[in-house]
């Protein structure tokens, strides 16, 4: 029988992760990792190099999953906000929660990184359905594809249908009883209406969840980008517009309200999301309106590695032959120069 390394656990089902597994790595099957489709690009490159998707079990993820196992789903959705310094692992914690949601058959409404929409948008157009607002049709279409990949198996099993007629123009409409998959295909084929399809999708998922037809989890990285003062998007007068003038913002603020049940909302706030230089605390990063929109919520700190987690990470790198011939003194020096920050450690151990 093969001996399990001290820094690994054979418990690969996230629903069973508890405090005994903290600091140990578990493996996500590659097909599940691809369908979850939520890992940061830097992590994916490393996973391809290491030929496995291995995630360290950390306390913030265990805490959120324990809440999700215990909450009363007949009550309004609970909200959890991950916060902490840059590079402490908030995004990977979200990925752990995503994998949990995948195994527990939640429909996942996941945004990998909100600021991409407001800084690297591919196309801007006046909204086809909301006068005075701006659409990001290509980005919306790409998100619909992302949503479909993540949820295709579950959507096929549940066969959810829209609850009313939706008219897009004089010739095109989505009649009551149309499946959610058909709605997604319409948005992918007619990207002019992709933002409108997302809005309808979110309304229908809230209705379906509240009716007990499905469980939905909202997972958004960099949520505070929705509440910042300005984006890089310009209107017809070349003026920079705030996020609340972008139709996608309206949709995702809608699904993070407390007016539905049979689901959960897990978000991160980060200084990189709204280019802030001050505090890492949610109240500061969200601003008054953003804080009040999400209140009440449970804040969960994601901190740097503790000593045991740092040692576990080093042992993993050594096993993968990513670090070779490191002395105890060299490991101590690496601990000091990185201050046990996960991202800094990854960058220090990066390929040359």
Q: How far apart are CA 205 and CA 211, in angstroms?
A: 10
Triad 308, 312, 315: Cα angle to 5° = 140
Local confidence band at 1 (pLDDT 50, 70, 90 cut-offs)? very low
Angle between helices 194-210 and 137-158 (to 10 degrees): 30
Mean pLDDT of 225-236: 94
Q: Is the pLDDT of residue 256 over 60?
A: yes
pLDDT the model gives residue 21:
97
Structural contact between residues 109 and 205, judged by C-beta atoms closer than 8 angstroms: yes
Q: How far apart are CA 52 and CA 292, in angstroms?
A: 41
pLDDT tens-digit series, residues 8-22: 999 999 999 999 999
Q: Is the pLDDT of residue 3 over 60?
A: no
Local confidence band at 128 (pLDDT 50, 70, 90 cut-offs)? confident
pLDDT tens-digit series, residues 23-68: 999 999 999 998 888 899 999 999 999 999 999 999 999 999 999 9
Structural contact between residues 14 and 103, judged by C-beta atoms closer than 8 angstroms: yes
Q: How far apart are CA 18 and CA 218, in angstroms?
A: 22
Q: Is the pLDDT of residue 172 over 60?
A: yes
Q: Phi, psi (5° rounding) for residue 274?
A: -125, 20
Structure tokens at 12: 């690969």
Q: Is the pLDDT of residue 226 over 60?
A: yes
For the chain, give the mean pLDDT. Answer: 95
Note the Cα 314 to chain centre separation in Å: 26
Residues forming a β-bridge with 82: 268, 300
Chain position carrying tokens 């010739």: 171
pLDDT tens-digit series, residues 287-337: 999 999 999 999 999 999 999 999 999 999 999 999 998 999 999 999 999
Sketch the domain layout of the chain as residue ranges.
14-301, 307-350
pLDDT tens-digit series, residues 82-125: 999 999 999 999 999 999 999 999 999 999 999 999 999 999 99
Helix intervals (H) in 7-105: 30-36, 41-50, 59-70, 90-103
Local confidence band at 4 (pLDDT 50, 70, 90 cut-offs)? low
Triad 214, 263, 35: Cα angle to 5° = 70
Mean pLDDT of 262-276: 95
DSSP string of 228-264? SS--S-B-TTS-B--GGGBHHHHHHHHHTSSS-BSEE
pLDDT the model gives residue 352:
55
pTM listed for this prediction: 0.95
Q: Phi, psi (5° rounding) for residue 6?
A: -65, -20
Helix intervals (H) in 106-136: 115-119
Q: How far apart are CA 102 and CA 308, in angstroms?
A: 29
Structural contact between residues 272 and 119, judged by C-beta atoms closer than 8 angstroms: no
Structural contact between residues 334 and 314, judged by C-beta atoms closer than 8 angstroms: yes
Mean pLDDT of 248-259: 98
pLDDT the model gives residue 175:
97
Residue 327, by phi and psi: left (phi above 0), alpha (psi -120 to 50) or beta?
beta
Q: Is the pLDDT of residue 243 over 60?
A: yes
């Amino acid at each position: 029988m093969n001996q399990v390394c001290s820094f690994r656990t054979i418990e690969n089902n996230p629903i069973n992760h508890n405090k005994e597994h903290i600091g140990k790595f578990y493996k996500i099957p590659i097909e599940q990792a691809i369908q979850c489709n939520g890992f940061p690009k830097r992590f994916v490159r490393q996973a391809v190099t290491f030929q496995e998707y291995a995630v360290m079990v950390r306390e913030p993820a265990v805490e959120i999953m324990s809440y999700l196992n215990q909450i009363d789903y007949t009550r309004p959705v609970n909200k959890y906000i991950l916060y902490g310094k840059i590079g402490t692992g908030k995004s990977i914690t979200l990925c752990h929660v995503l994998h949990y949601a995948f195994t527990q058959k939640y429909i996942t409404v996941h945004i990998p990184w909100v600021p991409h929409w407001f800084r690297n948008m591919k196309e801007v157009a006046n909204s086809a359905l909301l006068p005075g607002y701006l659409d990001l049709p290509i980005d919306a279409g790409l998100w619909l594809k992302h949503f479909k990949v993540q949820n295709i198996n579950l959507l096929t099993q549940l066969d959810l249908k829209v609850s009313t007629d939706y008219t897009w123009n004089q010739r095109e409409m989505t009649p009551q009883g149309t499946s959610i998959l058909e709605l997604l295909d319409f948005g992918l084929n007619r990207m002019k209406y992709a933002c409108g399809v997302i809005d309808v999708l979110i309304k229908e998922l809230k209705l379906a969840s509240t009716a007990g037809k499905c469980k939905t989890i909202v997972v958004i990285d960099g949520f505070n980008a929705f509440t910042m003062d300005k984006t890089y998007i310009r209107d017809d007068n070349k003026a920079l517009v705030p996020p609340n003038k972008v139709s996608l913002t309206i949709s995702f603020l809608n699904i993070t309200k407390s007016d539905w049940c049979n689901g959960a909302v897990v978000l991160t706030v980060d200084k990189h999301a709204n280019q802030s230089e001050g505090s890492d605390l949610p109240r500061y990063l969200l601003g008054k309106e953003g804080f009040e929109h999400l209140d009440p919520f449970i804040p969960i700190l994601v901190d740097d590695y503790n000593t045991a987690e740092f040692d576990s990470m080093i042992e993993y790198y050594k096993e993968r032959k990513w670090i070779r011939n490191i002395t105890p003194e060299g490991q101590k020096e690496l601990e000091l120069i990185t201050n046990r920050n996960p991202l800094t450690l990854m960058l220090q151990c990066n390929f040359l």
